Amino acid sequence: MTAICLVRHGETDWNAAKRIQGRTDIPLNHTGKWQAEQTGLYLKDFHWDVIISSPLSRAKETAHFILKHVHAPLVLMDDFIERDYGVAEGMSFEERQKLYPDKQYPNMEPLEAMQDRMLDGIHKVRAAYPNQNVLIVAHGAAIHSLLTALADEHMDLHDTRLVNACLNYVEWKDHKWMVHDVNVVTHLPQSAPF
């Protein structure tokens, strides 16, 4: 059985401002660093064989905060990078609503392509780390697309918005992926202490 915990990166200034990030490389803000630290403190009580991260700095920074508490090698994988939102990257929610109310942004990575990339990535992880416990630090839309692809028909994730630094658990068992928990934030106090 391969067990995977998918961690969404901590908050960035663009997250706080509701600007769409995509592949734009935005670092964690003060709250995001605190969230990543809290995540590491929580995850230290479990055994992890490897941490895999998207190459974007907000994911890598989150992984490095976790690594202060979890002793495992870090591997970067392009498969887990965020969706490319094309011309919409950097736009506020209001700008996107006005210009693209249908959410069809020019030059955006197709949903199916992102989902296929994420599925390919998780199958590579299972092949490389069979029967191990794996942390994957990635991005909201990318993780959501993967969970949607893996979830059974009884789990409706369509309107689920993944919170920064949330934990999502999946495992490979009986020759299939099973989604156990989504959007877990019990390791984060209600608000940052600042």
Q: Which residues are catalytic?
A: 9, 82
Strand locations in the chain (E): 2-8, 50-53, 74-76, 133-138, 167-173, 176-184
User: Which letter does DSSP use for residue 159 in this model?
Assistant: T
Q: Report the relative pairing of strands 133-138 and 2-8 from DSSP bridges.
A: parallel
Location of structure tokens 């591997």? 75
DSSP state of 75: E
